[in-house]
Amino acid sequence: MNKSSRRRFLASSAGLIGAGLTGLPLLAETKKNDLSQRSTTGLIYRTLGRTGIRVPIVSMGVMNASNPNLVKEAWKSGIRHFDSAWIYQNGNNELMIGRVLKELQVRREDVILASKVFLHDKRGVQKESELKEIFLERFHQSLEWLQTNYIDILYLHDVSDAAQVNAPWLLDTFSELKKSKKIHWAGFSTHSYWQELVKDAADKGFYDVILLSLNYSMSHDTASLEAMNYAAAKGV
């Protein structure tokens, strides 16, 4: 794909690409025109906080993509981080990603895969052991769909309060998955009223990555920017 085609592809896919990773360190102030950190495709790479992962500043949130050709072109254009979730398209989203990467013969170490475990439909479940069982069952389904034996970044999906991410059973589960090398990094995603939640997570230091909702209309949202900078300074 030539540079002109790549620009057209990225522009036409703006609704899907870039929404996938709003990792806080990537939003921190960076040097402009840093050619030393550009890949052969022209995309600029950054280090994702304390994880040490090197990722392009443009990533792909695959949620609304149902055409495998879009994922293929994203890969060919230099996208190396793909974000999905257990709940997206009833599993078909992750099935598609797994099939595309296999078809392209992508080496596992060359791609960064992120997934999320959704638990909102289980809010009535009180037993921690049952919640853990459901969480692990859905996580292992994602592994199967993505055709991989580990996920780089695993999130608890759509968090709205600190009690959810600080639940002892969840912290233990993430720790066990890390120890078994089934995940490399733990995180959570959040969509609204996340400023205090982000600060709380940064202070506690357990979570490596936070995926949050942010767009250009929030450029003057002082509270949000302060929360991001606060977490970024702590390596989240």
Between 134 and 35, whose confidence is greater?
134
> What is the full DSSP assignment across 160-181?
-SHHHHT-HHHHHHHHHHHHTT
Residue type, 222: T
How far is 97 from 68, CA to CA, in rounded Å? Answer: 7
Confidence check: pLDDT of 184 > 90:
yes
Residues with Cβ within 8 Å of residue 83, at least 6 apart in sequence: 19, 20, 21, 59, 60, 61, 62, 63, 114, 115, 211
Please tell me whether residue 112 adopts helix, strand or coil conformation. strand
Closest to 49 measured CA to CA, from 30, 25, 84, 21: 25
Give residue-wise pLDDT tens across range 202-221.
999 999 999 988 877 777 88
Q: Which pLDDT band holds residue 114 (cuts at 50, 70, 90)?
A: very high
Q: Which pLDDT band holds residue 222 (cuts at 50, 70, 90)?
A: confident
How far is 65 from 137, CA to CA, in rounded Å? Answer: 24
How far is 85 from 155, CA to CA, in rounded Å? Answer: 9
Domain 3-233, CATH among 3.40.30.10, 3.40.50.720, 3.30.200.20, 3.20.20.100:
3.20.20.100
Longest dimension (CA), the chain: 55
How far is 92 from 80, CA to CA, in rounded Å? Answer: 20
Segment 104-124 shows an average pLDDT of 91
How far is 14 from 11, CA to CA, in rounded Å? Answer: 5
Residue type, 177: L
Looking at 38-42, 123-127, 170-174, which range is the least confident one?
Answer: 38-42
Confidence check: pLDDT of 9 > 50:
no
Confidence check: pLDDT of 41 > 80:
no
How far is 30 from 44, CA to CA, in rounded Å? Answer: 11
Confidence check: pLDDT of 2 > 80:
no
> Residue holding tokens 């609304």?
64
Give residue-wise pLDDT tens across range 44-98.
999 999 999 999 989 999 999 999 999 999 999 999 999 999 999 999 999 999 9
